[in-house]
Structure 1
Amino acid sequence: MVDPEALAVHIGVPVGTIYRWAHEDGWQKFGRDRRRLYRIADAEASADKRGRDWG
């Protein structure tokens, strides 16, 4: 699990896109309080769903 900023760098999208995808696709949140952590697999699945090329 990683924070939204690291996911944004990994996928190549703005961090705001990560937050939007997490909300739209219902990603499970991990972490406590204000520190959100998400699964990399969830982010990659959302990117794939939107037609990103991972090749």
Structure 2
Amino acid sequence: MTRTDLRAAHARRTRAAIRAAALTLTRERGYAAMTVDDVAALAGVSRRTVFNH
């Protein structure tokens, strides 16, 4: 795998983790009761990363 392929794969995994965290929190709490910080914490990424992806 090239370095570009590895970066793309990591980005896909990060986006998938963020998406899964957002869906989980939406089901558990509802959209209005979750924050970006909650999503970031559950996904294991920073707040900035959530906005970047």
**What TM-score, normalized to structure 1?**
0.35
Which has the larger helix fraction? Answer: 2
Query: Which has the higher relative contact order, 1 or 2, with Cα contacts under 8 A spaced 6 or more apart?
Result: 1
Which entry has the higher C-alpha Rg, 1 or 2?
Answer: 2
TM superposition score normalised by structure 2: 0.36
